[in-house]
Amino acid sequence: MKLSGAFLENMGKRHSVIVGMTRSGKTFFTKHVLQQLQDQNYHTIFFDPKHDDDYASLGTICNTPLQFYHQLLKKNPAIVYRPSPKKEDRVNELNRITEFLFTMSNKDGFKRIKRVVAIDEIQLMVKKGTNDGVETIWTVGAGIGVVGIAITQRIQLLNETCWSQSENKIIFKTDDRPEYLKTRNLDHYIDKREFFLDTDNKYWFYYTTGNGKWRIREPISTASTSNTISKPTTTKTRKGNPKPISSLKTVEHFGLKRWDI
């Protein structure tokens, strides 16, 4: 399914955060975004501490910073970086590849390349308040053509800089506490969490592209021919009995409209 040009442009120009519990659809969504950015001539890097084979198709796999640097020199537009399983090493490797990206952005012949770096399970690399490669991308990256996508399981796990410097915020189901959500100005999300936690609403997400508007979006579809999803007319409980209409946690139940991106 194609994401809209406007949405992709936002993802390519400004930093993003993607939050959601395990198996809520974060990496699947990221894969679609990166593939479509590749189609628009962005160079993408998928930093994958999980070494997930489902996402190996996102580019040439690199296991060391030097292999990565070599691919940058070759202007390879699609790279997957698989860091060491050791925490200390993976943090250092992320810092090294960030340095290489910044070095490249100053080199003649490389300056015009627009790059998007998606870091999966970013909590494995970044502790709150540390000043490292991630901090650098989110503070000065956009100005030199390096845009970040930070992916993690809870809003609480994101460092302040990533959150505040990301215009695009995409939230799948989360279990962040209401008190915590308030500290991130997400009061409006608190009563909608129930909707996303409902198993009938798997892979739905809540998002903004930074204009102050938040929207609920149905799952992106894998079908290439259509971007509309037919809603089932009846919804079953786990036991197979139809739910009473009044208890359906549909978008309309929350007085919201559905939007396409």
Ligand X SMILES: Nc1ncnc2c1ncn2[C@@H]1O[C@H](COP(=O)(O)OP(=O)(O)O)[C@@H](O)[C@H]1O
**Binding residues for Mg ion (CB under 5 A):** 27
Q: Which residues of 112-150 are buried (b: 16+ CB within 10 A; e: fewer)?
A: ebbbbbbbbbbbbbbeeeeebbbbbbbeebbeebbbbbb
Instruction: Work out how close the CB of 66 gets to ligand X at its nearest, in angstroms, rounded to a whole number.
Output: 28
Q: 27 vs 136, which CB is nearer to ligand X?
A: 27
**Binding-site string for ligand X from residue 193 to residue 212, where x marks contact by CB under 6 A and - marks none:** ----------x---------
The interface partner of residue 214, options being Mg ion, ligand X, none and the CB cut-off 5 to 8 Å by kind, is none
C-alpha separations of 180 from 21, 157, 173, 190, 198 in Å: 16, 11, 15, 10, 21
Instruction: Work out how close the CB of 218 gets to ligand X at its nearest, in angstroms, rounded to a whole number.
Output: 9
Give the closest residue to 94 by CA, choosing from 143, 138, 28. Answer: 138
Query: Counting beta carbons within 10 angstroms of the beta carbon of residue 109, is it exposed (0 to 12), middle (13 to 18) or buried (19 or more)?
Result: exposed
Q: Tell me the site size for ligand X, rule CB under 6 A.
A: 12
27 binds ligand X (CB under 6 A): yes
49 binds ligand X (CB under 6 A): no
Q: Tell me which of 2, 4, 6, 23 binds ligand X, using CB under 6 A.
A: 23
Cα dihedral: 83, 87, 88, 89 (round 10): -20
**Binding-site string for ligand X from residue 116 to residue 155, where x marks contact by CB under 6 A and - marks none:** ----------------------------------------
Chain residues that interact with ligand X, rule: CB under 6 A: 20, 22-28, 203, 219-220, 222
